[in-house]
Amino acid sequence: MRSAAVFGFNEYSRQIAAQVRNIYQDFALFVINEEEKKAAIQAGFLVELFDLSEDWRGIEKNFDVENLIVFCALANDAENVFLTISLRATFDKLHIVALAQDNQSAIKMKSAGADKVLPSLQIAANVISDMLEKPVVTKVLHDVLYEDGLLNIVEIEVTRHSSFVGKYLHEIHFKSEYDVILLAIVDHEMGTTFSFASKGHNHHIDPGDILVAIGYQDKLNVLIDAVRRRSV
Amino acid sequence: MVGRWLVAFAFFLHSYPPYRNAKIFIYNLLENSHYPYKKYFDYGMIALIFLSVYILIRQVKYEMPIEWLFFNNYVISLIFLIEYLVRLWIYSDNAKVVIDQYESDLFLHRPFSLSQALKTILKQKLEFILSPAAIIDLLAIMPFFHELRMLRIFVLFRVLKLFRYAKSLRRLISILASKKFELLTLALFALIMIMVSSVLIYVMEATNPKSPINTLFEALYWSVVTIFTVGYGDMVPVTSEGRTVAMIIIVSGIAVISFATSIIVTAFTEKLDEVKEEKMIDDVSKLERFYLVCGYSALANEVVHRLRKASKHIVVLEKDPKKAKEAHDDGMYVLNFDSASLHTYGAIRLHFEQQVIAVILLQDSDVANIYTALTIRELNKKIPLHSILHKPENRKKLSMAGIDEMVNPHELVGFMSKKISNQPIAFEVIHALRSEHGGTVIEEVILDVGMSKRFFELLLHPLFHQRLSMLGIYQRETQSFAFNPSPMFEIQAGDIAIIVANRSLVSEFRNLLHRKKV
């Protein structure tokens, strides 16, 4: 059972909570003071108060830590770093996503043990400059990533008995046969590091590899079926 | 009768376009420092001045060819004379004076007063003739009468004409002029001291046969040399009374020099910001295409650094002097002006259509950004306006204020969190493409009509096949995106292909695409 917890209640954490609460079967919002609690309840969330000095064993009781993703989104970067480092000190396998105001704080979050850091200032700056310099790319990628349009991006894991196992990438005609574009592939043996398909490596597909493809949802569904189809 | 004829002629001139246009053109060329061609005129005049001074110096000891002398005495002088007369012409509008007088008299039911109109015209022209710059101009023409050998020295007045053509010299004069009262007071003090000391030293020394100061002129010379702390030592007082005068004047001299220095330094310090600002406005007005950033926030700092990496020019408008200084320290073109004020855009001489690619509103509140957007939209309806959106509930208001694109960082982080939860690898792939890490980039390639065949052939070229992915083509006309189009797709002018590949490969693809033969 996958679960998520968001820490803090401000403009950022409100948006995070609103976007992720429906994805997870189990969701909790932790707030640091009464003021945040009041605002979160007004916004329609069920909340729990927490203290930065606590030992976090309560989390272990309520969630399966290995399947829990935590969003550290306190308004104060210093407190957020402290929260991140406290959680990491307690739980080795917890997946932590931390919010940072800028790059400097992002480095600290990373050092504190966050798996993924979202530097809000840089994110906004990147999008603004991309909108100015590459407006079409920005619009298309935004639609693909965040909008529920026809064009989508998927991650497809190659199953053990998949008909794709044992083939080379160049043997599969993603564009002409499936009308999708293969963007990247994660080599199972190399961990979670991906490589772009446009690098031109003629990768040998193994079970556990992940294909990242972009296309219209119906075409992607055809590809997903093909990947999962058992080889005869 | 003459009056009526003059009024009719004035109305004719006032409404005759070739005459008005010629006068405006000449005014711009001579007086409008923002007129792009003025600098060429100024350079020409500066060249003539230097040539003229060179000839004067050369002819002191060497024989000059007759053509050079003719050029100096007649051609250059004639050019300066024409310039003087033209300046006199554009200084005031005679036709307007006559018309104003006529209309005023008509309104008051009086007969047209020709003498009053002529008096006004004469007064205005005299104002020009008696101005220091015009006097210098006139004296610079004097070598024209080269037969009078003494008048040749007037060629040096041509050097003073440089003040007209060199902006920095004009600026120097204006800085000194701001302390006119103080400088004049000091000059008056120095003059009185010189006069008093000259008379005193003459009285004390002239009767002593051992003293080198025997005439009033020598006394004046000694006083000037002493008060300005030069003290050649060629003339020294020999009497005790004379030496007492010397002591007083030396002390006064030091006071004069130090006061003068302090006044000039103060004038420069006071005007330093103004001078810097003027210089910055000049620099910005020379930029051809740039992004205009309103407000230098932490976000603005990030945005401009990214845009500068892409070799774009950025101009920052920031009303807070502290933040403006920060932007300046970061190496930006920064103007310490309020972006929400209409007056600002006139003062900084901004031409939206020619200079500005887009305006980016990054102030700390939606209120300030809306206010600035409305100001800019009043000046220009078409310029692309991008803005940060601090509160999602203000989206509609920003849109109503004419902002084309807005970014809400909170929403972005929310979307990203969702994607990280759902498809972490896909998110990382797109993020890596956007941030251009690892050499693989996602780029836009602008296409043209009739390119279809070459474009799709190139995609199958061994160099690009399997190494370059074309996601699709954005169709400008229909504003729609054709994903993975077939080779039968008809490309139109301005369509944009989205390509994913190594940066150098994209560059090569662009080059080959725009070559006639592959």
Both tokens assigned to B251: 């002390």
Q: What's the pLDDT at B145?
A: 56
Burial of A205 (0-12, 13-18, 19+ CB in 10 A): buried
Q: Which residue has the tokens 């190659």?
A: A158
Same domain, B14 and B115: yes
Question: Tell me: the pLDDT tens digits for B471-498?
Answer: 999 998 888 899 999 888 888 888 999 9
Partner-chain residue, chosen from B362, B417, B468, that has the shortest CB–CB distance to A97: B417
Q: What is the pLDDT of residue B143?
A: 60
All residues of chain A having their beta carbon less than 8 Å from the beta carbon of residue B440 are: 196, 198-199
The A residues from 17 to 56 touching B (CB cutoff 8 Å) are: 18-20, 23-24
Residue of B nearest to A216 (CA): B483
Instruction: Please provide the average confidence, as pLDDT, over all residues in chain B.
Output: 88
pLDDT of residue B269: 87
Over the stretch B199-250, which tens digit does the pLDDT of each residue have? 999 999 998 999 999 999 999 999 999 999 888 989 999 999 999 999 999 9
Residue A219 has pLDDT above 80, yes or no: yes
Q: State phi, psi for A47 to the nearest 5 degrees.
A: -125, 160
C-alpha B280 chain-centroid distance: 7
Instruction: Give chain B's domain count.
Output: 4
* Neighbour count for residue A142 (Cβ, 10 Å): 17
- Which tens digit of pLDDT belongs to each residue from B311-339? 899 999 999 999 999 999 988 999 999 99
What is the average pLDDT across B401-410?
94
- Residues of chain A in contact with residue B477, where contact means CB-CB under 8 angstroms, are none
Q: pLDDT tier at B391 (50, 70, 90 boundaries)?
A: very high
Q: Is the per-residue pLDDT at B273 higher than 90?
A: no
Chain B residue numbers with beta carbons less than 8 Å from the beta carbon of A215 are 483-484
What string of H, E and C letters represents the secondary structure of B350-363? CCHHHHEEEEEECC
- How far, in Å, CA of A75 to CA of A9, rounded? 8
Residues B405-411, mean pLDDT to the nearest whole number: 93
State whether residue A191 sits within 8 Å of chain B by CB: no
User: A210 at the B interface (CB within 8 A)?
Assistant: yes
- Give this prediction's pTM: 0.72
The residue ranking higher by pLDDT, B518 or B365, is B365
| Whole-number pLDDT of residue B49 | 85
A residues 115-174 lying closer than 8 A (beta carbon) to B: 116, 118, 120-134, 136-137, 140-141, 143-146, 151, 153-155, 170
Check B409 against A200: CB less than 8 A apart: no
What are the sequence ranges of the domains in chain A? 3-123, 150-228
Tell me, yes or no, whether B134 and B184 share the same domain.
no
The predicted pLDDT at position B57 comes to: 80
Compute the half-sphere exposure of residue B118: CA atoms within 13 Å on the CB side of its CA: 7
- Interface confidence, given as ipTM, is 0.89
- Mapped onto helix, strand or coil, the DSSP state of residue B231 is coil
Report the distance separating Cα B166 and Cα B175, nearest Å: 15
Q: How many angstroms away from the CA of B408 is the closest CA of chain A? A: 8
Instruction: Tell me the CA distances in angstroms from B422 to A2, A21, B247, one per residue in order.
Output: 11, 12, 93
Assigned token pair, A105: 């704080």
Q: How far is A52 from chain B (nearest CA, A)?
A: 23
Q: Which residue of A has its CA nearest to B385?
A: A132
Tell me, what's the pLDDT at B147? 55
Q: Which of B135, B165, B195 is the last residue of a domain?
A: B165
Structure-token pair, residue A165:
């196992």
Instruction: Test B302 with A122 for CB contact under 8 angstroms.
Output: yes
**pLDDT given for residue A59 in this prediction:** 81
Q: List the domain range (segments joined by +) for residue B493.
A: 423-514
Evaluate if residue A147 carries a pLDDT over 80: no
pLDDT score recorded for residue B124: 92
Helices (H), B62-154: 66-70, 77-91, 94-107, 114-129, 132-141
Residues B175 and B179: their CA atoms lie apart, in Å, by 7
* Mean pLDDT in residue range B292-315: 92
% of chain A at pLDDT higher than 90: 42
Q: Per DSSP, which regions of B303-439 are E strands?
A: 313-317, 333-335, 356-361, 385-388, 405-407
What is the band of A92 on the pLDDT scale with cuts at 50, 70, 90? confident
Element (H, E) at B498: strand B496-502
Contact criterion met (CB < 8 Å) for B483 and A154:
no
In a 10 Å sphere around its CB, with 0-12 CB exposed, 13-18 middle and 19+ buried, how is residue B105 labelled? Answer: middle
Report residue A152 as tokens: 């989508």
**What was the pLDDT predicted at B517?**
47
Average pLDDT over residues B282-297: 92
pLDDT digits (tens, 9 = 90+) for B124-163: 999 999 988 888 888 877 765 555 555 566 667 777 777 7
Above pLDDT 70, what percent of chain B?
96
Instruction: Give domain status of residue B279, yes or no.
Output: no
- Name which of A14, A127, A194 is nearest B425 (Cβ-Cβ): A194
Same domain, B373 and B321: yes
**B172 in any annotated domain:** no
How many angstroms separate the CA atoms of B518 and B513, rounded? 8
CATH C-level class of A3-123 = alpha beta
Q: Which of B386, B407, B429 to mutate to test the interface with A (most CBs of A within 10 A)?
A: B429
B201 and B246 both lie in a single domain: yes
Asked if residue B497 lies in contact with residue B445, where contact means CB atoms within 8 angstroms, the answer is: yes
**pLDDT of B516 above 70:** no
Fold of A150-228: Alpha-Beta Plaits (3.30.70)
C-beta atoms of A133 and B466 within 8 A: no
* pLDDT score at B172: 83
- CA angle, corner B423, sides to B421 and B425, nearest 5? 115
A199: pLDDT strictly greater than 80: no
Q: Which helix (H) or strand (E) element contains residue B291?
A: strand B290-294
Q: Measure the CA–CA gap between B350 and B354, rounded to whole angstroms.
A: 9
Which one of A14, A126, A194 has the shortest CB-CB distance to B306? A126
3-state secondary structure B56-80: HHHHHHCCCCHHHHHHHHHHHHHHH
What pLDDT, on the 0 to 100 scale, is given for residue B56? 77
Pairwise CB contact (< 8 Å): A181 & B423: no
Question: What tokens appear for A179 in the block?
Answer: 């009308």
Would you say residue B407 has pLDDT above 80? yes
Search chain A and give the residue with CA nearest B384. Answer: A132
Same domain, B246 and B296: no
Domain edge (last residue) among B410, B437, B457: B410
pLDDT of residue A46: 85
pLDDT at site B151 = 57
In DSSP terms, which residues pair with B473 in a beta bridge? B482, B497
How far apart CA B317 and CA B309 sit, in angstroms, is: 20
Return the closest-CA partner of residue B73 out of B150, B144, B151.
B144
Q: Give the count of beta carbons closer than 10 Å to the beta carbon of residue B85.
A: 10
Distance CA B354, CA B351 (A): 6
Residues B307, B365 within the same domain:
yes
What band does B165 get if pLDDT is binned at 50, 70 and 90? confident
B427 and A123 Cβ atoms separated by less than 8 Å: no
Residue B272 has a pLDDT of 82
- Give a yes or no: residue B277 inside a domain: no
Mean pLDDT of B25-48: 87
- Report the share of chain B in percent with pLDDT over 90: 46
Least confident piece of the model among A148-162, B151-165, B342-356, B453-467: B151-165
- Give the other-Cβ count within 10 Å of B258's Cβ: 11
pLDDT band at B370; cut points 50, 70, 90: very high
Better pLDDT: A111 or A93: A111
A137 with B498: Cβ contact below 8 A = yes
pLDDT at B154: 67
> Around Cβ B60, how many Cβ atoms within 10 Å?
7
- Give CA B449 to chain center in angstroms: 42
* Coil, strand or helix at A98: strand
Helix axes B94-107, B2-14, angle to 10 degrees: 120
Domain boundary among B379, B410, B441: B410
* Count of residues making up chain A: 232
- Indicate whether B12 and B161 sit together in one domain: yes
CATH code of B341's domain: 3.40.50.720
Which tens digit of pLDDT belongs to each residue from B58-108? 877 888 888 888 888 788 888 989 999 999 999 999 988 999 988 888 888
Best A24, A70, A115, A128 member to test B by mutation, with max B CBs in 10 Å, is: A128
Q: How large is the average pLDDT for residues A137-153?
A: 85
pLDDT score for B254: 92
